[in-house]
Structure 1
């Protein structure tokens, strides 16, 4: 098997063209996951009655569902029920007018919420319980203690786990091609349907993913050093 550099370059260009779709599929779910995941983790760690138990059940059950299965279910619901919902809400939009990338974003967001909530929960549990008592001793409310004392110490602990989640999210974004969304992998293999150079297409996609992940991990290392310095200052 000969490696054709020209086909590789062409596939690389096509993959980069669709990189913005992958960025949306990664960073929108990441922001949602960080927001809701942190909230879920706090509710569970501080044992909010009823809600904490329900959220724990949801996270446990949802993590047992493969992302591709969840994606297919959401896409079927979207395709079959969107027009009915639009008619009920008196909207003029039809299913053909909506970019199904939002189905992928929805599926990845729920996965991100569950995985990030577990990472944040683990980081919160690593903080000594005496920190809460220290906040009480100086007259801070529970919320003030969490915001000013617990979360700043939790962030450096959570970063390595969060980076693993981000990398997992980057790789999981490729499954959306199963419902026709064109991202890096689907884009990089577009020329392959004409040239039959599928090896070069997948190699180009792998190169883009590698570079993307390397940039994310490089930024994460800088963030880890910065937050670690901040945490040490808390004890000076």
Structure 2
């Protein structure tokens, strides 16, 4: 086997066209996952009656099963629910009108939510309970104390884990090809199918993923240094 630099470059250029799809899947799933995860973390931290065991079961199930399983469950189960509800109410909408990427976004967001909940919960635990009690002593409500005192510190403590979650979902986006969503890895397979130079195509894909991962790490590093400046009182 001999590497073909010209084909690697050609594949690299062609793969750039689907980078926005990969980034869309990653950003949406992480953003939605953080929202879901924050809600779950608060429910578990404050042990909300009834919701607490449900939240714990959600986290245990989605962290204990593979991402591809979640994706296939959503892909095959969601149409049954949508078509059943539409038929019951007499609506014309059918699951066939749902774009394939929607299944990936929903599945990955739910998966990210389970992992993000533990990330957020670890950040909340890292903040001293005395700070929350001090906030109550000056008349703050729980939402005010969380927003002004707890969440900023919890975010700073959780940033490295959030970065790893982001990178994990970036790499996990390759599973979207299972439901016919063409992202970087899938595009590499399509490009290589023309002449069977799969190693060259996947090498180009690896370089793109590597570059994106480095950019995420650099951005997180800059944000972390910025937060540390505020924590030290270096910014007025």
Q: Which TM bucket (shorter chain)?
A: over 0.9
User: Could you give the per-residue CA deviations for residues 111-167 of structure 1, whole angstroms, max 9, x where no partner exists?
Assistant: 110101100101110111111111112111111111111111111100001111111
Task: Judge which range, 23-32 or 69-78, deviates more.
Answer: 69-78
Which piece of structure 1 moves more, 77-86 or 97-106? 77-86
What is the aligned partner in structure 2 of residue 220 from structure 1? 220
The answer (yes or no) to whether the contact 2:70–2:111 under 8 Å persists in 1 is no
1:199 maps to 2:215: no
Residue 179 (structure 2) pairs with residue 145 (structure 1): no
> Post-superposition shift, 1:85?
4.1
Aligned to 1:21: 21
CA distance in 2, matches of 1:22, 1:229: 33
CA contact (8 A) 1:8 1:203 kept: yes
How far does the alpha carbon of each residue in 1:54-90 deviate from its partner, in whole angstroms, 9 at most, with x for none?
A: 2012111221111111111221224555444444454
2:64 corresponds to which residue? 64
TM-score normalised to structure 1 length: 0.92
Q: Which residue does 1:119 correspond to in 2? A: 119
Could you say if the C-alpha distance between residues 144 and 175 of structure 1 is closer, same or farther in structure 2, counting changes exceeding 3 Å? same
CA positional deviation for 1:35: 1.2
8 Å Cα contact 1:28/1:105 also seen in 2? yes
The unaligned stretches of length 5 or more in structure 2 are none
Q: 1:195 to 1:106 in 2, by over 3 A?
A: same
CA distance in 2, matches of 1:89, 1:17: 41
Alignment of structure 1 residues 3-152 onto 2, 5 Å? 3-78=3-78, 82-152=82-152
Question: Gaps spanning 5+ residues in structure 1: where?
Answer: none
Tell me the matched-pair count: 235
Counterpart-to-counterpart distance in 2, 1:81 and 1:14:
37
Partner secondary structure for residue 181 of structure 2:
coil
Superposition deviation, residue 53 in structure 1: 2.3
1:208 corresponds in structure 2 to 208
TM-score (normalised: structure 2): 0.92
Conserved 8 A contact 1:156-1:231: no
Higher RCO (C-alpha 8 Å, min separation 6): 1
- 2:198 and 2:224 map into 1 onto residues whose CA distance is 38
